[in-house]
Amino acid sequence: MSAQGSTLALRCYQIDAFTDQAFGGNAAAVVLLQPEALPLDDAVRQAIAAENNLSETAFLECSDGNDFSTCTRFGLRWFTPATEVVLCGHATLAAAAAVYRQNPASELRFDTLSGELVVTRQEATGLLSMDLPLMEASAAAVPPGMGPGSTLVQAAVGNLAVEEVRYAPSLKYLLVVLQNDGESTRQAFLSLQPDNQALGAAHTEGQLVGVIVTLQGDGVHDFLSRFFAPWAGIAEDPVTGSAHAVLGPYWAQSLRRQVVARAEEGKSSGAPAAADTPNDEVAAEQLLRRRKGSKADSKAAGSGGSAKQQPPKVISAVRDQVYGGGPLTFEQQAENSVVSLLAVIFFVILAEGVFLAGSGFMPDWLDQFAQDIVFPAFSPTLLLFLAISSAYGVWKTRAGPEEEK
């Protein structure tokens, strides 16, 4: 790259994320910015991303030193061919994999527009795991002109019946949930080929980065999804980590249970991200835990290597996510306290039972202690346990029908 008569060399990697197969998953470019390359103008970053023409190009710089082989904290930004984005899961994992080619650290921290993201490496397997922010979508936040019957939604899903539409303002993602009418709907969903020119023209006001189209799963998957982002210069992203930060909490609430947000790779040409053939399944599934705020909440898994190992070829899987966590309500906190109290009382009763069974076989001083303290306390302790457990059982029985509503 030339700048004022000089040439600046930038080290750039291209890494396939969410797959264990070369040329599969979702490719990202990673540019490692040495101190002599900084500051790098945003227009130059955007031009590099446009030339790379991948869904995202990550720009990485050391925050706690000048050497990528020893840094553990980095500044990270993501650019699509058309714009900078707030969050990108697969390009974050790709950035970590690039660093891990030369850095033996077990944990890397990235400062981003979505807060701090942490990537850790499992020593035994080389798998990488990361946190992504929780991004909830709501129906109330849907901007005008993006509802179920809008031109925009029709351009995305055609004649498929829409159950509801939600919007995640932090990411500018529109979530379109399809009615699940069985195998025919699923096949139509998998065959969707939106006219991206018409889709992009349906909204030109800057409130949209991408559209997530999803429907309930087929018994094998909790849900299926695809992601279209012509506003970001991406026709279809084959596997979108950040979309799962929206999809996971939505489906956990809708299905009223924990869900597995398992990203499965599609073809690079843009086949559905939820393809379900065995060869398309991601290589690793692990639990994703929820955190509050702009810190991480969707977990992703990947494969990487240390400097002494083979360089990481690919990154494997969005982590299976345990959604539906978050801050506990007062009722949940009270229930946890009651259950803990019952456990303590139960173990006290067990200890008292041991004293009762051993009466006459223990040293005199221990027998005396049992006679004076343990035996008189046994009946009240047992009654207390029965009273609390009975009250708890009655409360759960009455609360059950409310939870089902």
Tell me the pLDDT of the chain averaged across its residues: 77
Write down the catalytic residue from 56, 61, 136, 264: 56
What pLDDT is attached to residue 19?
78
**Rounded CA separation 127/380 (Å):** 53
Q: What is the DSSP string of 101-159?
A: TT---SEEEEEETTEEEEEEE-TTT-EEEEEEE----BSTTPPTT-STTSHHHHHHHTT
246: three-class secondary structure by DSSP: helix
DSSP letter assigned to residue 21 = S
What pLDDT is attached to residue 262?
54
Neighbours of 285 (CB within 10 A): 18
Question: CA angle, corner 241, sides to 156 and 169, nearest 5?
Answer: 60
Q: Are residues 95 and 155 in the same domain?
A: no
DSSP letter assigned to residue 329 = P
What pLDDT is attached to residue 383?
86
Task: Copy the structure tokens of residue 307.
Answer: 């400097």
Q: Is the dihedral of CA 153, 158, 159, 163 positive or negative?
A: negative
Task: Copy the structure tokens of residue 263.
Answer: 């990203």
Nearest to 172 by CA among 196, 141, 216, 151: 141
More confident residue, 43 or 359: 43
User: Domain residues for 388?
Assistant: 330-404
* Model pLDDT for residues 48-63, shown as the tens digit of each residue: 999 999 999 999 999 9
* Mean pLDDT in residue range 347-372: 76
Number of structural domains found in the chain: 3
First to last CA, the chain: 61
Nearest to 92 by CA among 265, 263, 264, 241: 241
pLDDT more than 70, % of the chain = 77
Residue 70 pLDDT greater than 80, yes or no: yes
Q: Are residues 35 and 122 in the same domain?
A: yes
* Mean pLDDT in residue range 364-384: 78
What pLDDT is attached to residue 317?
30
> Is residue 120 within 8 Å of 72, Cβ to Cβ?
no
Active-site annotation holds for 56? yes
Place of tokens 């009722």: 331
* Mean pLDDT in residue range 310-317: 31
Q: Are residues 22 and 156 in the same domain?
A: no
27: three-class secondary structure by DSSP: strand
* Model pLDDT for residues 230-251, shown as the tens digit of each residue: 999 999 987 788 898 898 889 8
Q: Are residues 12 and 67 in the same domain?
A: yes
Q: Are residues 226 and 345 in the same domain?
A: no
Q: Are residues 226 and 353 in the same domain?
A: no
> Is residue 83 within 8 Å of 54, Cβ to Cβ?
no
Q: Are residues 252 and 347 in the same domain?
A: no
Q: Of 237, 269, 295, which one is at a domain's C-terminal end?
A: 295
DSSP letter assigned to residue 265 = -
Give a yes or no: residue 366 inside a domain. Answer: yes
Phi, psi of 205 (to 5 degrees): -100, 10
Give a yes or no: residue 80 inside a domain. Answer: yes
Q: Are residues 164 and 75 in the same domain?
A: no
Letter for the amino acid at 31? V
Range from 78-87, 113-122, 304-313 carrying the lowest mean pLDDT: 304-313
Letter for the amino acid at 336? N
What pLDDT is attached to residue 398?
64
Give a yes or no: residue 321 inside a domain. Answer: no
What pLDDT is attached to residue 65?
80
Q: Of 295, 321, 347, which one is at a domain's C-terminal end?
A: 295
| CATH assignment at residue 279 | 3.10.310.10
**Rounded CA separation 83/105 (Å):** 31
> Is residue 300 within 8 Å of 120, Cβ to Cβ?
no
**Rounded CA separation 245/233 (Å):** 21
Q: Are residues 334 and 222 in the same domain?
A: no
Letter for the amino acid at 135? M
